[in-house]
Amino acid sequence: MRLLIMGPPGVGKGTQAKGIAEHYGVPAISTGDMFRAMKGADTPLAKQVQEIMNSGALVPDEITDAIVKDRLSQPDAAGGWLLDGYPRALGQVYALDAVLASGEDAIDAVISLTADEEVLVARLLKRAEIEGRADDNAETIKNRMKVYHESTDPLLAIYRDRGLLVEVDGVGGIEEVAGRITAALDAKLA
């Protein structure tokens, strides 16, 4: 099973990605988590990534594409994966296509989680209080929403045209949304 999960900041992508990946027995690969893992490392690359994340902008494609390509080549990803937060820009779609074209793998479905922006901003501000994520402040949240609309939202049309998109309402309890996702995937892949 090879899946992508996409959606605006705060829609619950990360939480759902972990549950769905577990359900299908594949690793959940989150570029945001990989970048956060670089936090505190005393290298120019780690510092550059940290600054970009704190502003809510996207890490440059050449860095992001390279870490994803590397991660997908690891043994645990051979049998499938769920990519959370990648691709997020047009160039990344084509970079992923190139990685997949070099092997036998293809994307089975792209989950698009949807929610109203007001609901999302409220969720993110709450998460900021609980988790203290450096990129969950009001200013960065605003910028991440803008970046999402400009760079990532347009990618949904590409996957829709390819017949891969599965749209799921992301508003509700964790279990409720997870149930909707697996039902929608089962229907799509049946």
As annotated, the active-site residues are 13, 88, 127, 133, 144
Overall residue count recorded for the chain in this entry: 190
Q: b vs e for 11-20, b when ≥16 Cβ sit within 10 Å of the residue's Cβ?
A: bbbeebbbbb
Using the rule CB under 6 A, is 123 a contact of ligand AMP? no
Judged by CB under 6 A, which of 3, 5, 31, 136 binds ligand AMP? 31
Judged by CB under 6 A, which of 58, 111, 120, 164 binds ligand AMP? 58
Using the rule CB under 6 A, is 53 a contact of ligand AMP? yes
Instruction: Return the residue nearest ligand AMP (CB atom).
Output: 32
One-character DSSP codes across 65-97: HHHHHHHHTSGGGTT-EEEES---SHHHHHHHH
Instruction: Name the DSSP class of 163.
Output: T
Query: What is the distance in angstroms between the CA of the first residue and the CA of the last residue of the chain?
Result: 13
Judged by CB under 6 A, which of 50, 64, 115, 145 binds ligand AMP? 64
Minimum Å gap between C-beta 55 and ligand AMP is 8
Minimum Å gap between C-beta 64 and ligand AMP is 4
Using the rule CB under 6 A, is 72 a contact of ligand AMP? no
Using the rule CB under 6 A, is 86 a contact of ligand AMP? yes
Minimum Å gap between C-beta 41 and ligand AMP is 15
Inter-residue contact 150 to 56 (CB < 8 Å): no
- In sequence order, the 6+-apart residues with CB closer than 8 A to the CB of 28 are 17, 18, 20, 21, 22, 81, 82, 84
From the list 58-66, 70-78, 99-107, 182-190, the region that binds ligand AMP by CB under 6 A is: 58-66
Q: Which pair of tokens denotes residue 108?
A: 């089975």
What's the rounded Cα separation, in Å, for the pair 46 and 38? 6
Using the rule CB under 6 A, is 170 a contact of ligand AMP? no
Contacts with ligand AMP by CB under 6 A lie at: 9, 31-32, 35, 52-53, 56, 58-59, 64, 85-86, 88, 92, 135, 144
